Structure 1
Amino acid sequence: MEDNYMKTNATMMNLILLVFFIGIIYFMMIRPQRKRDKEAKEMRDGLTRGDEIITIGGFIGKVVAINSDTVVINLNAGKGSTNVELLKTAIGSVKTPNTAARQEKKEAAEETKERDVKTSTTKKVTPKKLTPKKDESENKDAE
């Protein structure tokens, strides 16, 4: 009887240790990686024309155009300049942000938000008073 209790106790300890190690792995590896991915996505979504970027391949260029999934950058290579289209995921970091363009983008977003708030006026809806129908009231009077 005591031997059966020992086996159950050991099984429970093994299960608790397994859950503990999975928790440690989550907080040490998975959660920080998700945070880095979120920051990188915000950086790529916040790109504006004129930002100087560094690609994950090491190229340095200036953003010329931004599409939904791609970015066109200008590389000043030697005597001339070349425009190259890259995926947004190939951007490693923003070297020098175009602060003027970012400020304009932020102000435009605030203006549209304010305009949306002003145009979306809410109507007050008052419930109609419940009164008996005329036919029902006449029938009650006749009786």
Structure 2
Amino acid sequence: MNNLLNILLMAQPAEGQSPYGSFIMLGAIIVVFYFFMIRPQMKKQKEMKKFREELKKGDKIVTTGGIYGKVLEIQERVIIMEVEGQNRLKIDKAAVVKDMGDVAQK
């Protein structure tokens, strides 16, 4: 497998072909990766940051660990949330992944 990869990478362009074709193809691959993988991930991270900044008291949330609760207090990096049975948990803002306000409750 390694030998095949070395042969493909070291292959010289056929006579009459432009050596820039392989550079153009590499550039096209980078552009495709950017638009289909990197850019959507960056957009998702921006949306999550905005969501966490807009949290307010009373919002229903879900943590990365799957704990459902309601926001009681918001500090700079910490959220105090209430879970079933009036138990309180202190969690990091980065652990909040969803707002359950728009999901129908059973």
Say yes or no: TM over 0.5. yes
2:56 is equivalent to residue 56 of structure 1: no
Q: 2: CA distance between counterparts of 1:33 and 1:65?
A: 29
Alignment of 1:41-120 (within 5 A): 41-76=49-84, 80-96=85-101
Deviations along 1:4-49, one digit per CA (max 9) or x if unpaired, are: 993771x211100000000000000000011111111111000000
Q: Percent identity?
A: 32
Counterpart of 2:15 (choices 6, 10, 21) is 6
The SS at the match of 1:6 is coil
* Gap runs ≥5 in structure 1: 98-143
- Superposition RMSD on alpha carbons, in Å? 2.0
SS in 1 for 2:100: strand
Query: 2:86 aligns to what SS in structure 1?
Result: strand
- With structure 2 as the length reference, what TM-score do the two structures score? 0.77
CA distance in 2, matches of 1:51, 1:61: 8
Higher helix fraction: Structure 1 or Structure 2?
A: 1
Structure 1 residue runs of 4 or more that deviate by more than 3 Å after TM superposition: 4-8
The one-letter amino acid of 1:84's match is L
